[in-house]
Amino acid sequence: MHPNPAFREAPEARALGFARERGFGALTTAGPDGVLAAHVPFLIEDGVLAAHLVRSNPLARLLKSGPAEALMIVSGANAYISPDWYGEEDKVPTWNYAAVHLRGMLRLIDEDLLKTHLDRLSENFETRLAPKPIWRSDKMTPGVMEKMMRQIVPVEMAIASTDSTFKLNQNREAAARRNAATELAKGGTPGLETQAIARMMREVDSG
């Protein structure tokens, strides 16, 4: 996370809401041979992050020995910011971004809970595709889903701490930030979801 407090003043509720909305991140922990990571979709409900791992994933194998301290990294929109956009002298390039870190003890849970987790996970994303009818696992041929489920295991992490960075040029004058957002919104800038970063930069001024 960025050390500048200007970028880290978001309340925990905003950070959790951001992570919940993204619903995808890099789940990491330290194994005996180094850091392990898995890129997974997830749910957050009542302070608990629920996900699943391919059974053969080294991280899943590690958890067979017991719970492990873990970090979920949730990355959001990001964009390169040119110093020419500020309308100010002697500034340097930077990269604006949004990210949240969630920490806690990761553990395997009862595999009987896997089907419920998968149904809730797919419903969470399918409801965002309205008016498309929601895909449900009961549409599948009997036995196919069960066969696929044998390849994965459910995990959960009680969220012990939340940290976030919303780096949106809060350390620049409002006019300079607005200028940069206007140029960014024109498109063609390196980054991902750059229009979202431009919108978030404008929202800094609206409180």
pLDDT of res. 1? 84
Instruction: Write the burial class of residue 10 (CB in 10 Å: 0-12 exposed, 13-18 middle, 19+ buried).
Output: middle
Q: How confident is the model at residue 207 (pLDDT cuts 50, 70, 90)?
A: low
Q: Which residues, listed in sequence order, are joined to residue 153 by a DSSP beta bridge?
A: 53
Q: What is the pLDDT of residue 28?
A: 98
pTM for this model (two decimals): 0.94
Residue 43: band (very low, low, confident or very high) from pLDDT cuts 50, 70, 90: very high
**109-125 pLDDT, tens digit each:** 999 999 999 999 999 99
Of 83, 88, 97, nearest to 183 (Cα)? 83
116-174 pLDDT, tens digit each: 999 999 999 999 999 999 999 999 999 999 999 999 999 999 999 999 999 999 999 99
Domain ranges of the chain: 5-201
Domain covering 5-201 assigned CATH 1.10.580.10 in the classification = no
Position 185 confidence tier, pLDDT thresholds 50, 70, 90: very high
pLDDT of residue 6: 87
Give the model's confidence band at 2: pLDDT under 50 very low, under 70 low, under 90 confident, else very high.
confident
